[in-house]
Chain A
Amino acid sequence: MVSLSVTPFGPQHPSLLEPIHLKLKVEEEKVVGVDIVIGYNHRGLERAMELDFKRNIYLSERVCGICSFQHSTAYCQAIEQMAGLEIPTRAKLIRTIMIELQRMTSHLLTLGHIAEVMGYENLFMQTWRERESVMALIDRIAGNRVHYSMNTIGGIRKDVGYDTTKDIEITLMQLLPKLEEIRGVFAKDSTFRKRTVGVGVLSRSAAVKYGAVGPTARASDVPYDVRLSSYAGYGVEGIRFRPVHRDDGDSYSRSMVRVEELFQSVDLIQQSIGLLRDEPVNVPFRGNPSGEAFSRVEAPRGELFYYVKAKGEVRLDRVKIRTPTFVNVQCLAEMIPNCQLADVPVITTSIDPCICCTDR
């Protein structure tokens, strides 16, 4: 007689960076159902962000450490929209450069993490070593590896000089051959393919039903990318961009979408640097915001959505943050059943969960 047992996964687990609890219903090594428990990381930031709209530029960064610049961009964009501000093209392009640099660090992190989770320590170390070059570059540009604090309402706080853009170009040229090597391993290595091909399949209809976003959706043949909506520098004349997408919907496809997006990011940064012209990097913003705004950016994990409502005071009326993992984590209920118990960490890591974003 087959008996059902419940195996807890998390909130403290070697393969989990963050606390999430999965109650796996297991029948003889095969997982037949999952209950997802989140909320361990809930700090109550939406309430804290109602207190002072200027402080939120820095508080929104600290919602998440891996996509911090995306959060501050989305927030500043919302306030700029309410105030009807047009930020200079140079500020838009610098925002694009920093967004794409952060995307590269995030994708390299996830690729290394998924390699580590399947026991492929060597690939984890190689990927994170390349990630360190990008982190050191960001440290030289912004002064901090994690929270850049470069955004302000009206553009960018301080200009980025010619030396810095030269530094970015040279670092990326040195990095490209190493990224090619990494792409070769992820695409063709039999160990990686055995653990990810056909594992954790998310069909196209399920992706649309759950509202999946980001590489999780793009790997399931849903070409949904907010960068097509021309926010920040993506709408500047001369920037050419097409979303990467695949149609298998398994963990392999999701990882390959991220690998291809690394090269897309390098290309976008090079295009943006080529279009920089000499002009100021911010416009002045005075007074208090009033009205409401919907702001969307493409974070590394998917669409990040901010709703801000203000009444002409320093205090805001409502700030709502909808992060990509908040919807993507529900897709685990579709992907995990009928997989082996040993595949659960691989599937969970392949959607690139960012639980601090989910719980805020």
Chain B
Amino acid sequence: MRATDRSRVKSPWILHFDTGSCNGCDIETWALLTPRYDIERFGMLNKANPKHADILLVTGPVSMKVAPRLKNLYDQMPEPRLVIAVGNCACTGAPFEECYNVHGGVGKIIPVDVFIPGCAARPEAIIDGVVLGLKLWKRRAFSPNASSVSAPAGGVEVKG
């Protein structure tokens, strides 16, 4: 693994964006920075600039007004990048699926690598999801065509 890959996996920088959620998952994402969950010990920092970020943490079912902004942010992020959809509404749009102003999940606008369910997703689950994403990166560093990571109920496992 090259030095840049190592540093990316050991210290990923996060960009957080809310696309119309109820804010529950966003607060839980911010709670990760605080002393009880403390993701800074994993080297993760919450950065504002999309060109500095490695991971895009998206919440919300993507309202119509915000969709172009989300696409813009995703396009600005340099490769390799990871997109993580946090919360039920970012995964599938539920419970706002039938609402008229909602696209229904982040996957309708940009490709998503990891889905974290929950309403609101617990901070432990978000950490779990980010670690799963990092495993996917490690896998891709060795075999660039790896596109999936599966996590069976008993534990986290990487298949390529």
Contacts and interface: CB of A to CB of B under 8 A. Distances in A.
Contact of B95 (A59, A125, A135): A59
B99 A40 contact: no
B96 A43 contact: yes
A17 B34 contact: no
Contact of A65 (B19, B73, B120): B120
A45 B50 CA distance: 30
A43 B35 contact: no
A42 B63 contact: yes
Given A43-B99, A43-B102, A129-B36, A68 B18 contact: no
B142 interface: no
A28 to B, nearest CB: 25
Interface stretch (A6-14, A234-242, A267-275, A287-295): A6-14
Given A12-B17, A65-B22, A68-B24, A40 B65 contact: yes
B69 A19 contact: yes
Nearest to B35: A129
Interface in A122-176: 124-125, 128-129, 131-132, 135, 144-147
Query: Chain A contact residues (Cβ within 8 angstroms of B): what range?
Result: 35 or more
B87 to A, nearest CB: 10
A257 interface: no
A62 interface: yes
A11 B66 contact: yes
Interface stretch (B1-9, B25-33, B126-134, B145-153): B25-33
Interface centre among A14, A65, A66, A359 (most CB of B within 10 A): A65
A66 B30 CA distance: 13
A174 B118 CA distance: 30
- Specify the main secondary structure of chain A where it touches its partner: loop
B156 interface: no
Given A64-B22, A125-B34, A40 B63 contact: yes
- Specify the main secondary structure of chain B where it touches its partner: loop
Contacts of A256: none
B20 A42 contact: yes
Contacts of A147: 24, 119-120
A356 B35 CA distance: 26
A48 B27 contact: no
Given A12-B69, A125-B35, A356-B21, A47 B27 contact: no
Interface string A113-126: 00000000000110
B28 to A, nearest CB: 7
Given A125-B34, A125-B35, A42 B101 contact: yes
A280 interface: no
Contact of A11 (B24, B25, B28, B69): B69
Contacts of A12: 17, 48, 50, 69, 73
Interface in B94-136: 95-96, 98-102, 119-120, 122
Contacts of B17: 12, 19
A321 to B, nearest CB: 13
Contacts of B31: 128, 132, 135
B46 interface: yes
A39 B63 CA distance: 9
Interface centre among A42, A109, A132, A144 (most CB of B within 10 A): A42
A11 B31 CA distance: 21
A44 interface: yes
Given A40-B63, A44-B102, A132 B22 contact: no
24 contacts: A12-B50, A14-B47, A17-B30, A39-B65, A40-B19, A40-B65, A41-B60, A41-B66, A42-B20, A43-B99, A43-B102, A45-B96, A47-B99, A62-B24, A64-B22, A65-B120, A68-B24, A125-B34, A125-B35, A128-B31, A145-B120, A146-B119, A354-B23, A356-B20
Closest 6 CB pairs of A and B: A65-B24, A14-B48, A146-B120, A128-B34, A146-B24, A44-B99
Given A14-B48, A40-B65, A41-B20, 11 more contacts: A17-B26, A41-B66, A42-B101, A44-B102, A65-B26, A68-B22, A145-B120, A146-B24, A146-B119, A147-B24, A356-B23
